[in-house]
């Protein structure tokens, strides 16, 4: 429940009801006002900057006024708090308090990502006083939000409407509950009428419809991807990496594993985001098992042992890892799938560097630069071999400097489709999300990413 201590980006859905962000992303991925009512970027002799105009007259529950000092205190906390998961996002950002309602943010690398980054965890504002008092935010809430935190249990968080909130239409219900359930448990809850909105696997949606729920389908920013450690043999050989990329039948996986509810992709970004190039198709990633087998033989990698780490308990992840296993075995590799807890996927692949391939879902990030920094750039956590894709690095630098959001989208579209088969990234497919909604619910809009739903104005 601490905005600066989120090992998984998806946890933002639990803090968002109680912590307003400086800006927000709507369901169309457009940046909208929130605690900041206006923003403007520019550059001077000191470099690029982003100016924010703050909403006036707001107070935290402890009576602390929301001002430019709040923004400065929050950025400092995010950068300096031990274990902060926002430290990397805000690295290099400085804050100038122009006056109480205006701040100037600077980053010499470019401020292009900041409006979208400030719509996520990095932009969640905590009371200055709570920061000064070092309040334990895993036990208490200290934000400005449409809802007040009522209680936290291991799989259930309860909120009540904040009657003093600045937007009177935001909290349209008295109580909001977010519950973490396994898929089977969610289906049972749907049948019993115990939940109002949920996500279900495609094969379960028919039962939900029979229970009187409507189902909405939407692509999102997520992209199922295998990451490869280029520092480990045989993946240091580009022929082996090419073999991996063309040995996977993306279209068959979409049809067979994901019931057709997906888009096979050879890009970095997911099919449901604006930065995806919808016209590219799979022209750079044609399925060719015979050529893949030949490449493995040429590289002298036949019989090489390969380990794939994936998240245990995630049915889709385990299925996709197993399909990849079978296809790699057909081209001459000896492959083992190792389902482990999420932290172990990261530690084994990125920290200990003892695992050759890791499978996961990219795209759970408020700005494309976050996904690139984590999965693609030479210093990225999921690039333990430090492999550099020169064209992508150059385009990423351009996108950081560009402040026009539409032009940034064009740069990222070019970047997204610039992968080739020698890359250390093996994109597979973008899943389609099935949202199950009770008929009495009004105001719900499918989010730009399933990890970041908005309950503002949702009734029922």
pLDDT digits (tens, 9 = 90+) for 295-305: 999 999 999 99
255 φ, ψ to 5°? -75, -40
Phi-psi region of 386 (alpha: psi -120 to 50; beta: other; left: phi over 0): left
Antiparallel, parallel or unpaired: β 334-340 and 305-311: parallel
Arithmetic mean of pLDDT, 375-386 = 91
> Which of residues 460 and 5 earns the better pLDDT score?
5
For 368, the enclosing helix (H) or strand (E) is: helix 368-375
Q: What is the pLDDT of residues 221-261, one digit of tens each?
A: 889 999 999 999 999 999 999 999 999 999 999 998 888 88
pLDDT confidence bin for 386, thresholds 50/70/90: very high
Arithmetic mean of pLDDT, 336-343 = 90
Please answer whether residues 454 and 441 qualify as being in contact, where contact means their C-beta atoms are separated by less than 8 angstroms. Answer: no
User: SS3 of 117, please?
Assistant: helix
What pLDDT was estimated at residue 313?
78
Q: What is the pLDDT of residues 429-449, one digit of tens each?
A: 999 999 999 999 999 999 998
Above 90 in pLDDT, residue 201?
Answer: no
d(CA 220, CA 66): 33
Above 80 in pLDDT, residue 106?
Answer: yes
| Domain 9-134: top CATH class | alpha beta
pLDDT confidence bin for 414, thresholds 50/70/90: very high
Mean pLDDT of the chain: 93
What pLDDT was estimated at residue 341?
86
Antiparallel, parallel or unpaired: β 197-200 and 425-438: antiparallel
Residue 262 forms beta bridges with which residues? 431
User: SS3 of 36, please?
Assistant: strand
Q: What is the pLDDT of residues 108-158, one digit of tens each?
A: 999 999 999 999 999 999 999 999 999 999 888 999 999 999 999 988 999
Please answer whether residues 93 and 84 qualify as being in contact, where contact means their C-beta atoms are separated by less than 8 angstroms. Answer: no
pLDDT confidence bin for 31, thresholds 50/70/90: very high
Above 80 in pLDDT, residue 8?
Answer: no
Domain spanning 223-432 has what CATH number?
A: 3.10.105.10
Q: What is the pLDDT of residues 310-320, one digit of tens each?
A: 988 788 889 99
Q: Report the percentage of the chain scoring pLDDT > 90.
A: 83
For 238, the enclosing helix (H) or strand (E) is: helix 238-246
State the Rg of the chain over Cα.
23
- Angle in degrees, 0-180, between the axes of helices 390-401 and 405-416, rounded to the nearest 10: 170
Q: Report the percentage of the chain scoring pLDDT > 70.
A: 100
d(CA 174, CA 460): 10
What pLDDT was estimated at residue 109?
94
Above 80 in pLDDT, residue 367?
Answer: yes
d(CA 353, CA 282): 30
Q: Record the pTM.
A: 0.91
User: SS3 of 287, please?
Assistant: coil
d(CA 449, CA 432): 11
Above 90 in pLDDT, residue 398?
Answer: yes
d(CA 356, CA 358): 7
Q: How far is CA 148 from CA 4, 14, 61, 71, 385, in A?
A: 18, 12, 9, 21, 44
Above 80 in pLDDT, residue 7?
Answer: no
Arithmetic mean of pLDDT, 253-282 = 91
Above 90 in pLDDT, residue 25?
Answer: yes
223-432 shares the fold of 9-134: no
pLDDT confidence bin for 357, thresholds 50/70/90: very high
Give domain limits for the chain: 9-134, 223-432
Q: What is the pLDDT of residues 160-186, one digit of tens each?
A: 999 999 999 999 999 999 998 888 899
What pLDDT was estimated at residue 455?
95
């Amino acid at each position: 429940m601490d905005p600066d201590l989120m090992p998984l980006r998806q946890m933002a859905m639990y803090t968002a009801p109680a912590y307003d962000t400086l800006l927000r992303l709507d369901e169309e991925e457009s940046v909208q006002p929130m605690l900041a009512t206006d923003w403007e970027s520019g550059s001077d002799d000191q470099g690029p900057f982003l100016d924010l105009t703050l909403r006036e007259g707001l107070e935290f529950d402890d009576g602390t006024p929301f001002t430019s000092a709040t923004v400065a205190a929050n950025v400092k906390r995010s950068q300096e708090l031990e274990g902060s998961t926002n430290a990397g996002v805000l690295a290099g950002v400085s804050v100038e308090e122009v006056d109480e309602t205006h701040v100037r943010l600077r980053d010499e690398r470019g401020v292009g990502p900041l409006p979208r980054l400030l719509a996520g965890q990095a932009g969640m504002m905590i009371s200055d006083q709570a920061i000064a008092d070092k309040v334990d935010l895993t036990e208490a809430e200290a934000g400005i939000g449409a809802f007040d935190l009522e209680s936290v249990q291991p799989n259930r968080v309860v909120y009540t409407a904040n009657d003093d909130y600045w937007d009177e239409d935001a909290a349209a219900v008295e109580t909001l509950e977010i519950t973490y359930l396994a898929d089977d448990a969610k289906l049972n809850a749907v049948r019993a009428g115990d939940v109002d909105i949920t996500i279900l696997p495609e094969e379960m949606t028919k039962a939900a419809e029979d229970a009187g729920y409507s189902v909405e389908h939407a692509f999102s920013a997520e992209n199922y991807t295998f990451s490869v450690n280029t520092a480990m043999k045989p993946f240091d050989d580009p022929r082996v990496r090419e073999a991996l990329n063309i040995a996977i039948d993306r279209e068959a996986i979409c049809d067979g594993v994901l019931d057709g509810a997906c888009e096979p992709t050879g890009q970095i970004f997911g099919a449901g985001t604006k930065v995806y190039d919808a016209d590219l198709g799979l022209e750079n990633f044609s399925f060719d098992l015979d050529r893949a087998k030949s490449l493995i033989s040429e590289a002298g990698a036949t019989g090489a042992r390969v380990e794939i780490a994936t998240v245990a308990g995630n049915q889709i992840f385990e299925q996709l890892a197993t399909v990849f296993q079978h296809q790699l075995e057909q081209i001459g590799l000896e492959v083992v799938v190792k389902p482990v807890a999420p932290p172990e996927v990261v530690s084994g692949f990125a920290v200990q560097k003892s695992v050759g391939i890791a499978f996961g879902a990219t795209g759970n990030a408020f700005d494309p630069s976050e996904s690139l920094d984590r999965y693609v750039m030479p210093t990225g956590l999921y690039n333990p071999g430090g492999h550099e894709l020169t064209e992508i690095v150059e385009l990423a630098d351009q996108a950081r400097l560009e402040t026009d959001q539409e032009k940034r989208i064009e740069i990222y579209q070019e970047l997204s489709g610039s992968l080739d088969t020698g890359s250390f990234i093996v994109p597979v497919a973008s899943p389609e999300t099935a949202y199950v909604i009770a008929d009495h619910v009004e105001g719900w809009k499918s989010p730009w990413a399933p990890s970041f739903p908005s309950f503002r104005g949702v009734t029922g």
